[in-house]
């Protein structure tokens, strides 16, 4: 029996098991879900064991554990380390979901006429991670494991993988491999396969502006007392110039400029600005002068306010000058920019522009290095060949705007390159209400992954 026949025979169960996994609210950001998150690791470990992995272990860290498992078939064959995450983003705002986030349902959509699974984590990353477990099960069951395979499934990706570098350092030998394979990114469309060749880095800060020592009557004090909310808004507005370039001093110093040839190659990837605008209901795109929308979303750094609050937000009007104002700001980084350096530059700049009337606190939240992956490697070629086999089209290389901070650490700590062979769509609403993952995508992934292993085993010198 081949892997595809096995998959067709076990299709219903492979779906049911994913739905069961999606019922576990493994929200790493919220301590209220701590028991569920630990339980989720055990469930993933059980699946790996049942699928035929050896030495399966739920390895404790200072945070949520990492699930490890492996299958050694032949020491002369190469080893693929599969990485994924079992933690998910919070479901908030829950009132915007059409069905409960942790009660998966299948519905068809315009882009998923054959049905999509609606649940938090359906695409990011339980659905995609679980494709690897099911593909592995099929390979073991049909006696077709073409190389050595290791699994490393973590539970803190959505909170910045803070303990994972320690894990890599502590388990270097156990994790020894030839390449890392990750499905935690997307493709352009179900009929336009693509492989992600780059991820942006991240510097994420929270700022707190303090004016008067208490909330004040806005009539009695307004006009002379500094208003931290007004001031924070002015400070934030001043961070970009009229061409939407970020003015934080030194921000672009290390930015890698792409050659015209590279930019021309990027422009080959299909992108419709009209469809993009329509998909998120906007009438115009925004962004840095001189760059196309796909470039602004991948090879250029950004600065975005992710949240801003302070003062009175209840019903009706309350006349008040708040004592404090806050914002959370993310900066997506491109190759050669360093998150710590950018955070320091942001803090220095923000302090410089703060008026004397307020005091300022800048707190660094999580960060991550950008990463680019080669396209001339046997591993990339294996992924390309695998997708070409199952999609009938050679996948297009694309740089993504998202971040998976551990990818840079795989290279720095383990000396391993990563292949980002993801299967989600941008419209799958990851991190948003009504996240979903196409049944087509789930099963296409399960079908493609064994081809990757076979192609890699064949190519690896």
Binding site for Mn ion (CB under 5 A): 124-125, 184
Of 125 and 347, which has the nearer Cβ to ligand BES? 125
CB of 88 to Mn ion, least distance (A): 8
Alpha carbon distance 411, 369 (integer Å): 11
CB of 403 to Mn ion, least distance (A): 9
Of 209 and 303, which has the nearer Cβ to ligand BES? 303
Contact 160, 405 (CB under 8 A): yes
Is residue 405 a contact point for ligand BES (CB under 6 A)?
yes
Q: In what order do the strands lie in the sheet with 116-118?
A: 105-107, 116-118, 436-438
Query: CA 151: distance to chain centroid?
Result: 18
Is residue 409 a contact point for ligand BES (CB under 6 A)?
no
Task: State which of positions 193-252 bind ligand BES (CB under 6 A).
Answer: 199, 202
List, in sequence order, every residue forming a beta bridge with 437; answer none if it has no partner. Answer: 117
Of 158 and 455, which has the nearer Cβ to ligand BES? 158
Angle at 89 between CA 87 and CA 92, to 5 degrees: 145
Q: Which does 400 bind (CB under 5 to 8 A by kind): ligand BES, Mn ion, none?
A: ligand BES
> Can you read off the two tokens belonging to residue 311?
């003062």
Of 186 and 301, which has the nearer Cβ to ligand BES? 186
Per DSSP bridges, beta strands 179-182 and 79-85 are parallel
Binding mask 357-386 for ligand BES (x = CB under 6 A): ---------x-x------------------
Nearest to 130, CA basis, from 256, 17, 246: 17
Of 125 and 156, which has the nearer Cβ to Mn ion? 125
Report the residue number whose CB is nearest to ligand BES.
Answer: 402
Is residue 302 a contact point for ligand BES (CB under 6 A)?
no
Total residues at interface with ligand BES (CB under 6 A): 17
Binding mask 133-172 for ligand BES (x = CB under 6 A): ------------------------xx-x------------
Q: Which does 78 bind (CB under 5 to 8 A by kind): ligand BES, Mn ion, none?
A: none
Which residues does 406 contact at the CB level (< 8 Å), separation at least 6? 83, 154, 157, 161, 164, 165, 168, 368
Q: Considering only 35-43, 111-119, 182-190, 288-296, which stretch makes contact with ligand BES by CB under 6 A? A: 182-190
CB of 219 to Mn ion, least distance (A): 46
Q: Which residue among 28, 79, 185, 409 contacts ligand BES (CB under 6 A)? A: 185
Of 227 and 427, which has the nearer Cβ to ligand BES? 427
Q: Which does 154 bind (CB under 5 to 8 A by kind): Mn ion, ligand BES, none?
A: none
Is residue 183 a contact point for ligand BES (CB under 6 A)?
no
Of 182 and 325, which has the nearer Cβ to ligand BES? 182
Of 70 and 184, which has the nearer Cβ to Mn ion? 184
CB of 114 to Mn ion, least distance (A): 24
> Can you read off the two tokens belonging to residue 167?
């894990």
Chain residues in the site for ligand BES (CB under 6 A)? 124-125, 157-158, 160, 184-186, 199, 202, 366, 368, 400, 402-405
């Amino acid at each position: 029996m081949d892997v595809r026949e096995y998959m067709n025979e076990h299709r219903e169960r492979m779906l049911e098991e994913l739905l069961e996994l999606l019922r576990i609210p493994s929200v790493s950001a919220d301590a209220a879900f701590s028991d569920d998150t630990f339980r989720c690791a055990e469930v993933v470990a059980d699946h790996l064991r049942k699928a035929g992995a050896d030495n399966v272990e739920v390895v404790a860290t200072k945070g949520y554990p990492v699930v490890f498992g492996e299958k050694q078939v032949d020491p002369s064959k190469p080893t693929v380390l599969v990485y994924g995450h079992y933690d998910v983003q919070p479901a908030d705002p829950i009132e915007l979901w059409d069905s409960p986030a942790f009660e998966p349902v299948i519905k068809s959509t315009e882009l998923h006429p054959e049905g999509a699974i609606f649940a938090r984590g359906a695409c990011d990353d339980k659905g995609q991670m679980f494709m690897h477990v099911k593909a592995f099960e099929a390979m073991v069951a049909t006696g077709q494991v073409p190389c050595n395979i290791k699994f490393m499934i973590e539970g803190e990706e959505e909170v910045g993988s803070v303990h994972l570098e320690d894990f890599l350092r502590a388990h270097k030998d156990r994790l020894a491999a030839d390449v890392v394979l990750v499905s935690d990114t997307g493709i352009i469309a179900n009929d336009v396969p693509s492989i992600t060749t780059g991820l942006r880095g991240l510097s994420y800060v929270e700022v707190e502006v303090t004016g008067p020592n208490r909330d004040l009557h806005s009539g009695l004090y307004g006009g002379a007392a500094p208003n931290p909310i007004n001031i924070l808004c002015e400070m934030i507005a001043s961070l970009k110039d009229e061409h939407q370039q970020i003015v934080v001093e030194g921000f672009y110093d290390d930015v890698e400029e792409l050659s015209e040839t590279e930019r021309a190659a990027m422009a080959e990837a299909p992108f419709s600005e009209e469809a993009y605008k329509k998909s998120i209901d906007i009438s115009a795109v925004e962004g840095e002068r001189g760059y196309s929308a796909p470039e602004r979303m991948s090879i250029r750094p950004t600065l975005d306010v992710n949240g801003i609050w302070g003062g009175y937000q209840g019903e009706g009007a309350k006349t008040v000058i708040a004592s404090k104002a806050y914002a959370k700001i993310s900066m997506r980084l491109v190759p050669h920019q360093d998150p710590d350096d950018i955070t320091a530059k942001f803090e220095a700049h923000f302090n410089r522009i703060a008026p004397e009337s307020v005091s300022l606190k800048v707190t660094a939240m999580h960060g991550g290095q950008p990463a680019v992956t080669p396209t001339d490697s046997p591993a990339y070629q294996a992924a390309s060949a695998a997708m070409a086999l199952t999609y009938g089209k050679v996948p297009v290389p694309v740089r993504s705007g998202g971040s998976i901070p551990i990818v840079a650490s795989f290279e720095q700590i383990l000396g391993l390159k990563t292949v980002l062979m993801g299967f989600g769509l941008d419209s799958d609403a990851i991190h948003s209400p009504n996240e979903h993952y196409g049944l087509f995508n789930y099963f296409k992934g399960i079908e493609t992954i064994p081809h990757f292993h076979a192609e890699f085993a064949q190519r690896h010198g």
